[in-house]
Amino acid sequence: MFQAPLSYYSHPERWEFSPGYNADDIGFTRSIGTGCLLCRNGQPEPEPKHDGKYKEPPFRFGELAISCETCHGRGELHVREMQTKNDRQLVPQEVDSSIVNPAKLSPRLADDLCRDCHQSGDAVVLLPGKGYLDFRPGVPLSQTWAFLKRPLKEEQRAEANRLETGARQSGNSALAEELVTGAEQVLPGEPRPPDLYQLPLRSPCSQTGG
Give residue-wise pLDDT tens across range 87-123: 777 777 777 888 898 888 898 898 888 888 886 677 8
Domain carrying residue 162: 105-210
Portion of the chain with pLDDT greater than 90, in percent: 5
pLDDT digits (tens, 9 = 90+) for 58-83: 888 777 888 888 888 888 888 888 88
Predicted pLDDT at 93: 75
On whether residue 63 sits in a domain, the answer given is no
Residue 181 has pLDDT above 50, yes or no: no
pLDDT band (50, 70, 90) for residue 189: very low
On whether residue 47 sits in a domain, the answer given is no
On whether residue 8 sits in a domain, the answer given is no
List, as one string, the DSSP characters of 134-201: ---TTS-GGGTEEEE-PPPPGGGHHHHHHHHHHHHHTT-HHHHHHHSS--S---TT----TT------
Cβ contact 117:147 at 8 Å: no
Domain count, the chain: 1
Q: Which of 42, 39, 52, 40 is nearest to 10 (CA)?
A: 40
On whether residue 95 sits in a domain, the answer given is no
